[in-house]
């Protein structure tokens, strides 16, 4: 295995760990010293508040865990997805994909930990313009997952794999 591929994977795993740690640090701060759960809302900027939300669902609030069985089902399903992302990351060679996967992995682990410990995910970031909110209330893990997915999708649609740059010769074309 080439050293560059190993280095890229180590960087990717380090990014995932960093996202996880920053996410957990901010969640600790808003739930502990800031006491956001008791305060409800803290205005930071005219268009950004910290607002306590206990998210019992997954993406966009779907699949609400309304029972302990559903809670643990979500923990297991999201854990299995995180395992699949880790396997993909460890097989990937291109840093662009590794970056996207590491953001997804770090965010997933942060939200899995919340759901495991509390039964819900702590959300707090409320971006709004008057009454209009372009996003649901979210956290750093959610943002990392979303950015990671966008990176993977953009690369899939717009970045040509460098291994496909050689022209197909007539004798190599299918059917010859």
Q: How far apart are CA 27 and CA 114, in angstroms?
A: 9
- Residue 174 belongs to some domain of the structure: no
Q: Is residue 173 part of a domain?
A: no
Q: Are 61 and 54 in contact (CB under 8 A)?
A: no
Number of domains in the chain: 1
Of all residues in the chain, what percent carry a pLDDT higher than 70? 85
First to last CA, the chain: 34
Whole-number pLDDT of residue 4: 64
**pLDDT at residue 34 greater than cutoff 50:** yes
pTM over 0.95: no
Residues forming the active site: 123, 142
Can you give the residue range of the structural domain that contains 104?
3-158
pLDDT value for 160: 77
List Cβ<8 Å contacts ≥24 apart for 78-87: 78/108, 78/111, 78/112, 78/115, 79/112, 81/108, 82/108, 82/109, 82/112
- Which tens digits make up the pLDDT trace of 38-85? 999 999 999 999 999 999 887 656 667 778 888 898 899 999 999 999
Q: Is residue 167 one of the residues assigned to a domain?
A: no
């Amino acid at each position: 295995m080439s050293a560059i591929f190993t280095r890229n994977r180590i960087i990717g795993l380090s990014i995932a760990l960093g996202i996880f740690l920053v996410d957990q640090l901010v969640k600790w701060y808003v739930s502990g010293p800031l006491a956001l759960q008791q305060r409800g809302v803290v205005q930071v900027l005219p268009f950004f508040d910290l607002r306590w939300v206990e998210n019992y669902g997954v993406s966009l609030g779907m699949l609400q865990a309304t029972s302990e069985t559903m809670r643990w089902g979500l923990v297991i399903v999201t854990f299995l997805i995180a395992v699949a992302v880790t396997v993909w990351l460890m097989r990937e060679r291109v840093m662009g994909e590794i970056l996207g996967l590491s953001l997804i992995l770090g965010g997933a682990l942060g939200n899995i930990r919340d759901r495991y410990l509390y039964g819900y995910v702590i959300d707090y970031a409320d971006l709004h313009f008057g009454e209009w909110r372009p996003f649901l209330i979210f956290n750093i893990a959610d943002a990392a997952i979303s950015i990671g997915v966008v990176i993977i999708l953009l690369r899939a649609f717009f970045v040509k794999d460098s291994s496909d740059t050689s022209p197909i010769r007539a004798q190599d074309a299918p059917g010859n």
